[in-house]
Structure 1
Amino acid sequence: MRRIGTPPRIAALTLASALLAAGALAGAATPASAQTTAVRMDYTCTTSAGPAVQLTVWVVGGLPDDGAGPNSVARHEPAFIDVDLDLRELRPVLTIPGGVRLDTDSTAVLDAHITGPDGTRTTQAPFTISPTWLTTTQGTAVRAAGAFPVQYFSTPGEYSLHVDDLALTLRPKRADGTSLGTVTASCSHDPAQTDLLGTVTSQGAIFERPPRPDGLRVVSTTPTSVTLAWEGYSWWFPVYGYDVYLDSGHAGLVTEKQVTLTGLTPDKQHRAKVVSRDTIGVRSATSQGLIFTLPPA
């Protein structure tokens, strides 16, 4: 008889059987995160460059997929929520004859609130802007990558993530690198607009699996490559290897706690994650994502 108040456990062999049926033990890789969710936000922005402007932003969330089912987490484990921005029509604010460039010293901050069984909490996601060239005829979208601070959903149930105001700090440059100063924008949306980015389910089960890798970091970069390293931990069974993911795609399986990824595009922003795999095929939860930008060629 199971004791009252004791959460159910999902055993390693049960997980291994499911993975075997899915081909995991034969070397197939599972996704590093759940299917993304997105919401379009129409903002009115007050800027330091002049009159208010209208700005359309697609907010794309990478919700955790670490429980038994999509967009779910175990209540006792941290939840990592990635979020990306696709900002449209910044040209009227920034462009000058000859065009301007935005680099990673341009930033954004997105306010949000999370509502669940334990009430409502507020949070903020910081972003770095991906290198972008804007002219009067091209470069209509500016993209930025970020993440919310680690969340804990300790009470089982559904938690909804809602998008709020947006702040931008943009530092445009000329083609020769000359700074054009700083443009700030404070943006708010119509309260009647749909602002739900997605929902996460917190589950009471205890998932018996290897500890997730942590300490993911950049060791070195070139315009076309990056070397990453991390910390990994064994449990009942030895670690067999680590699945490395780049921009949600499976980049490969390695046996060391370091990898060099080559053939990448210069001057581009990326997000990497790592999952450990033991000798019977059981995988850990996904590591926290790491955002980095390669230098130009």
Structure 2
Amino acid sequence: MHTALPSYLRDLGHGIHAIDTGFQRDDFDAAYLLVHGGRAAFIDTGTNFAVPRLLGALDTLGLPQSAVDWIIPTHVHLDHAGGVGLLAQQLPQARVLVHPRGVRHMVDPTMLWQGALAVYGAEEMARSYGQLQPVAAERVQASHDGMVLDLAGRALLLADTPGHAKHHHCLWDATSRGWFTGDTFGLSYREFDTAQGAWLIPTSTPVQFEPEALAASVQRLLAVDPACMYLTHYGRVTDVQRLGRHFLGLLDRMVALGRAVQHAPDRTAALERGLLDLYVESLADHGCGFDRGEIARLLAIDITLNAQGMTVWLDRPA
């Protein structure tokens, strides 16, 4: 007899479960639990408020907390890594594997907190993220490009994938032929699925957006001909090569938009309008029936953050 899974937990096969962290809205932010040979790893955690769901997933699957060997944020943005410290407190045997540029932020999250505070403000930080918890330095390990992690005999390959952030790595799971992509392969919300399949957008959130590096990272992910991508926002997507072409084309259009409004009097507002125009047009081509207002509502957070990130990029010295 199989235990019924809670609504926030989805079995994707190959020992991989997606956990809806509950951040912002349903089907917006995922953490992944990879189980093999009785051992487990969490890939991305969501925020502090997701930790009960992560622990609940272990309970549902009949795994003791001592089975978790690794907690692996793809990068240290708080919707991916905000819960790492608190989760690590509950899983004392687990080690934290993070991009080398992110190690110091896991050990001392003060700068991470201050940076997010500047973007979101104190009220939103308290509502959405909670107080960040540090991880003891001896429990944090830096990844490196080409590193192979052994999870009870299952190999996970780490790839350095800058472009969304300098401190971003992705994980290749040969068993499922899928990449855990964090934000490198963009955002794909299920509301936008049509008969043509999934739809996605690049994410250029502050402050390290680099379109050329991002395009190179995506091309690297596509080069192994993956069967699927495990996105933090949101869930598993297939038809990867089509999505990759779409991603790179939309990224080129975002760059062109940025150059076109670079010297506009109210550049950030112009970027927000221009991004919404791009998304509305792209979704119409995709067969999505949502009107402009509904698209603006569903993508409101991303439009704001993408415009802010593009502003930082445009101001960066060439």
TM over 0.5: no
Higher RCO (CA < 8 A, seq sep 6+) = 1
Greater fraction of residues in strand:
1
Greater fraction of residues in helix:
2
Mark the structure with the bigger radius of gyration.
1
